[in-house]
């Protein structure tokens, strides 16, 4: 069973009444991610909302998003 996660700008989570405090936040502090089941409480048709990107854990797209946005660069 694959788990789905939702990626979005912090302001977009807040705009639908979802407080992203406690969510994993991107390195630049502009994005967050959470489980899709939590996000669907606020946006039941989240797959249709362009502000939110739903990605399956372990998919190439998910892994790339984590590497690009949520992983600190080693010096």
CA distance 75 to 54: 31
pLDDT at 61: 97
The predicted model scores a pTM of 0.92
pLDDT in tens, 6-36: 999 999 999 999 999 999 999 999 999 999 9
Percent composition of the chain: helix, strand, coil (DSSP 3-state, to 5): 35, 25, 45
Nearest to 51 by CA among 2, 23, 73, 18: 18
Band (pLDDT 50/70/90 cuts) for residue 72 is confident
pLDDT at 74: 66
Q: Is the pLDDT of residue 73 over 90?
A: no
- Alpha helix (H) residue ranges in the chain: 10-15, 36-42, 60-69
């Amino acid at each position: 069973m694959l788990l789905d996660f939702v990626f979005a700008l912090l302001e977009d989570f807040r705009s639908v009444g979802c407080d992203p405090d406690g969510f994993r936040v991107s390195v630049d502090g502009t994005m967050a991610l959470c489980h899709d089941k939590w996000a669907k409480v606020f946006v039941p048709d989240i797959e249709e909302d362009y502000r939110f990107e739903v990605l399956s854990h372990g998919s190439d797209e998910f892994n790339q998003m984590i590497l690009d946005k949520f992983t600190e660069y080693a010096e």
